[in-house]
Structure 1
Amino acid sequence: MTRVLVVTSDPIGPKMAGPAIRSWNIALILSENHDVRLMTTSLLDAQDAPFDQYLIPPGRHRAFAKLERWAEVIVFQGHAMSMFKSLRASKKLLVADIYDPMHVEQLEQARDLPFDEYKQVVADRTELLNEQMLRADFLMCASDRQRLFYLGQLAALGRLNPLTYADEPDLKRLLTIVPFGLPSDAPVHQRQVLKGVVPGIGVDDKVIIWGGGLYSWFDPLTLIRAIGVLAARRGNVRLFFQGTKHPGIAEMPIVEESRALVRELGLEKHVFFNETWVPYDERQNYLMEADVGVSTHGFHLETTLAFRTRILDYLWTGLPMVVSKGDSFAQLIKREDLGIAVQPENVEALASALEKTLFNEKFAAAARENIVRIDQAFRWEKVLEPLVNYVNDPWPAPDRQLIARESVVRIRLVKHYGVKHNADRARHYLRAGGVRAVAGKVGERMRARSRSVAPAEQAPPADEASRAETDASVADQ
């Protein structure tokens, strides 16, 4: 049995988004045969689970050091390595979950910032990933495309060397593919939430659902225009944006741009925005009342490397899909006849694809049958097999000592805590979402700090001794 610490920067609780959902399921699967602890750096509303849960905010180095000393393997994602000195210096076996190419994501997300700030944000994310990729013993990405991309980055960092090549010529013992997964249990519709419940959406209406959040790298505007075209022919079409308020991300300008376009086109009776974030355990209620799942984006690099986790929810609930071409899921949808993939930013093609999927019952039924045929390949217990195999018999990277001595790059460490970082983030949220976004983030930080004084109250450690040790270490900060 291996002692495993899983670290995420996303909020853990009933309303979880992609990174937290992934970390939660990693902890869940690994806890079947190992001693696992799950830690978040932001917000924690502890849930019933076969593993302990901790909240340790950025900069609480002594508190994190207790967990680092306990662990034999540490699985982390996001900004964790920049937040804790003991993780950066750890001699434990480190697994970097780099399924989110955040430097590429910021090229799109931060492009509206002043140029110097934009450049710095992208540079910070690049350095953050460089540090993780230099130090990790084992790395996980989400797709074949990502793996090829990251192999190039690893080569630039000196990780493609005689030692790692001798260990395994395809380097899968260094960098493997672990996609996002699906729950093992079939979805159960527990209560009516959309049809006949949301004012303006009738029980017989055809509902197109936009699962997940609404972010700047997506293209909801083309979709809204396509709804305008389709609604002129089919009056019972409804589009529902499932999430606009992400639990860990400030609302982006694209949300208000989308609302403004709906008003401009007079589509208030056809397009609806959910003003909250749907709890993780209730999302199937919305998805199972929908008729089509949709995801649209533009032409950019983020699309090429993206792994749209919302598509997996569509697979889980058997929803035929209409998506933009360009990412790996669009290829899957086209190859396996799970729906229709259309050229990005083509309003007429999108409207026609939605109409066919909504109103051609034979086509939709065939898509649903095909989804049932392939969705087993995406179950969490299946996709996490490479990580499970690693934790069952973990190994250090063969070039660990070589990298420590001969790194070809010098990493400029970027603190993701402290006064300067907080001021920088406040400016970012002010530009991205206005005063309300800043106020919301301040509130979250205050709640996190108050909760971090006694994490054992939210998720007790494994025994009384470790509880006392952890509480004392956090209270020291």
Structure 2
Amino acid sequence: MEARLFMTLRRQCLEKARVGFLFLHPLSESLGSTTRLVEIAKSLKKGGFEVKIFNPFESVKEVDSIKVEKVKVLNLFDFMAKNMYSLLRRIYYGKRTRSITANKIFRENFFYKKLAEDLAEKLKKGNIDVLVIEQDFAIVPGLLASKKSGIPTLVDLHNITAEELVAANILRYDSLEYKEMQSKLGELLNEVEGIAVVSEALRKYIYETYGIRNNVVLVPPAGRIRIRKIPRRTLPYKFIFAGLLSYREKVDIFIRSLVYLKEKIANYEVYMTKKGDELKRIKMLSKIDDLNINFFWFKTRNELFDFMKQCHVGILTSSKNKARMLGPPIKLFDYMSVGLPVVANYIGGWSEIIRMEKVGIVTSGEPKEFAEGIFELISDEDAYYNFASNALRVIKEKYNWDKVTEPLVDLIHKFS
């Protein structure tokens, strides 16, 4: 009886823990990263935690029921702060400026210190018990703020910035900038109390690269059931690519497959997001080849999910490199959350989920074979709806945010 009472009191105490998230993107700029942040925060809130997102670019008071508080770097208007973000991103990730900026990402600077000063004050004022730093490039100001406020710090790694820069052909593995970034990040990761990673591949990478094994937990991407029953999806066929149009997405595979798809299917529509570095180029290709791609953008994720429910196939193309192997795309799980079968080019790693869970078809990276994969998927109605049902099952039983967040909950309890 006494033991049960103790556990009840302990649980009530733990449930009141206040968790802060430091997020250094505008909330509308990185779809996958923002989704991960908000969904994890929602699961923590559902579990009894008080949760708040700290962000230097937004003045909104909340996003999807999660409180947001602006951290000041300089007294800039919102549009100026977002413009500053875009400028710094171009400088940091520019090929011409890489030698003077890349290895500075993990070193203290004026902006990091100013951000950390304001964040530390807000952490103290909000009685935050644990700070979760989202992504490796936010680790310096996050650690500075945590030291000033005296609270434990965790980092949620979506990927490794140095690997992403190599994948973008901005750095090389043998470059001094890459080696310095990796060395400094290793030092900083050893200063945090715990680490969450998005994949087993990334957990292995953390150990092999930085020698860190303890307090590293797996929190993979996931989804939430957005539909109770698979609808009978009517013609025309709708094919959707719901991610940012960026170099790493390798959308050319899909774009060039449309030439072959025209020969097999007459009645279809293509939808792609109206956002990303590759948008102008993709629009030009669409015009030149008369592909009639519909570009869209919804203000809320709920609007996006409502539209995806009406679609027939979720398109998931990807480049094949270490960064993409380490970081599974959240749109795979978004597709599955509305029972949308997937066609993807095979890169190993997370693309095995599509095969193992039977939620779609994987092909090579050849456009003609990719077109054949789409045609095969929609040609067999029974197989199609089996894939769709499997997708919902996987989200419900395995890859749902409340379930995958449990290891992070344990880690927060350990240090709060």
| TM-score higher than 0.5 | yes
CA distance in structure 2 between the aligned counterparts of 1:62 and 1:370, rounded to whole angstroms: 48
Matching of residue 75 in structure 1 with residue 106 in structure 2: no
- Map 1:392-431 → 2, pairs under 5 A: 392-394=413-415
Q: Secondary structure at the match of 2:403?
A: helix
Question: Could you tell me which of 12, 24, 27 is aligned with 2:41?
Answer: 27
Q: Provide Cα deviations, 1:141-174, integer angstroms capped at 9, x if missing partner.
A: 111111111211221xxx4xxxxxxxxxxx4x51
Q: Deviation at 1:49?
A: 6.3
Alpha-carbon distance in structure 2 between the residues aligned to 1:219 and 1:211:
13
Unaligned runs of 5+ in 2: 1-15, 74-113
8 Å contact kept, 2:335–2:341: yes
What is the aligned partner in structure 2 of residue 266 from structure 1?
A: 290
Does 1:312 find its partner at 2:333?
Answer: yes
Taking a change above 3 Å as real, the CA distance of residues 127 and 244 of structure 1, as seen in their structure-2 partners, is farther
The alpha-carbon deviation at position 322 of structure 1 amounts to: 0.4
Aligned partners of 1:105 and 1:213: how far apart in 2? 15
User: Per the alignment, do residues 237 and 310 of structure 1 end up closer, same or farther by CA in structure 2, a change over 3 Å counting?
Assistant: same
**Amino acid paired to 1:77:** E
Relative contact order higher in (CA < 8 Å, ≥ 6 apart): 1
Per-residue CA deviation, residues 7-39 of structure 1 (Å, 9 max, x unaligned), is 1112347x8722222222222222332332221
Take 2:392 and 2:63, find their aligned partners in 1: how far apart are those partners?
Answer: 30
Q: Contact 1:12–1:44 (CA<8 Å) still a contact in 2?
A: no
Residues 184 and 347 of structure 1: CA distance in aligned 2, closer, same or farther (over 3 Å): closer
Asked if the contact 1:28/1:51 (under 8 Å) is kept, the reply is yes
Percent of residue pairs identical: 17
| Residue 211 of structure 1 pairs with residue 242 of structure 2 | yes
* Residues 122/45 of structure 1: CA separation in 2 closer, same or farther (3 Å cut): farther
Pairing of 1:102-117 with structure 2 (within 5 A): 102-109=161-168, 111=169
Give the aligned partner of residue 244 of structure 1. 274
Letter aligned with residue 282 of structure 1: E
What TM-score, normalized by structure 2, do the two folds share? 0.76
TM-score by length of 1: 0.67
Separation of aligned partners in 2, 1:320 and 1:148: 30
**Contact 2:222 2:395 survives alignment (8 Å):** no
2:60 is the counterpart of 1:45: yes
CA contact (8 A) 1:3 1:72 kept: yes
Q: 1:287 and 1:120 mapped to 2: Cα distance?
A: 44
**Does the Cα contact within 8 Å between 2:226 and 2:305 map onto a contact in 1?**
no
Decide whether aligned partners of structure 1 residues 9 and 121 sit closer, same or farther in structure 2, where only a CA change above 3 A counts. farther
Q: CA deviation at 1:212?
A: 1.7
What RMSD, in angstroms, separates the aligned Cα atoms of the two structures?
A: 2.9
Alignment CA distance shift 1:97-1:356 (3 Å)? same
1:361-393 residue CA offsets vs partner (Å, 9 max, x unmatched): 122011112223222211111000001122233
How many Å apart are 1:316 and its aligned residue?
0.2
Match of 1:436 in 2: none
Q: How many pairs were matched up?
A: 352
Cα distance change, pair 244–129 in 1 and its aligned pair in 2 (3 A): farther
Corresponding residue for 1:133?
189
Comparing 305-314 with 50-59, which one deviates more in the overlay?
A: 50-59
Which deviates the most, 140-149 or 51-60? 51-60
**Secondary structure of the residue that 1:105 maps to in structure 2?**
helix
Instruction: Give the 3 Å change call, closer, same or farther, for CA 287–149 of structure 1 in structure 2.
Output: same
Cα 1:25/1:187, change in 2 over 3 Å: farther
TM-aligned CA deviation for residue 338 of structure 1: 1.0
1:222 aligns with 2:244: no
Aligned to 2:31: 17
